[in-house]
């Protein structure tokens, strides 16, 4: 049996610890906070996904998702307070943008639309022509 070759913060992980999973599959980025289910004797990290039918994902000793072949994939990121905050803000922003893109503005009254437009205009990219 091989030995545990994890280094740095990965070597300190234990069952139950929070972990951030950064995924970039099919050019769609996602970030999620999950829990370590267990660490194998060889240092493989088993991550439990409660939201996805109690499924498990296995990461190698360097924090890369096992069984995925390709340039992009999933990697583990240390769950520091700063990284957790960043991940939560990223997901909130992503959810808000999704809801905005699915909104039918036809039923909004003119005054509300003016407020929304003022905010959008603040971030509008100016074309140099």
Residue 123 has a pLDDT of 87
Domains of the chain: which residue ranges? 8-122
pLDDT at position 109 over 90? yes
- Phi-psi map region of 67: left, alpha, beta (phi>0 left; psi -120 to 50 alpha): left
- pLDDT tens digits, one per residue of 1-51: 678 989 999 999 999 999 999 987 666 788 999 999 999 999 999 998 766
Contact at 8 Å (CB) between 14 and 4?
A: no
Q: CA–CA separation, 66 vs 70, rounded Å?
A: 11
Instruction: Kindly give, in sequence order, each residue whose CB lies less than 8 Å from that of residue 11, ignoring residues fewer than 6 positions away.
Output: 4
Residue 67 has a pLDDT of 80
- In angstroms, how far is CA 122 from the centroid of its own chain? 28
């Amino acid at each position: 049996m091989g030995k545990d070759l994890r280094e740095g913060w990965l070597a300190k992980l234990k069952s139950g610890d929070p972990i951030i999973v950064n995924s970039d599959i099919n050019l769609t980025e996602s970030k999620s906070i999950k829990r370590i289910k267990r660490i194998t004797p060889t240092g493989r990290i088993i991550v439990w996904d409660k939201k996805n039918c109690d499924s498990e994902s296995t990461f190698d000793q360097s924090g890369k998702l096992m069984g995925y072949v390709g340039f992009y994939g999933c990697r583990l990121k240390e769950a520091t307070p700063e990284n957790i905050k960043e991940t939560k803000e990223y997901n909130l922003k992503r959810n808000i943008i999704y809801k905005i893109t699915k909104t039918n503005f036809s039923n909004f009254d003119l005054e509300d639309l003016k407020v929304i437009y003022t905010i959008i205009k603040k971030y509008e990219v100016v074309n140099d022509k």
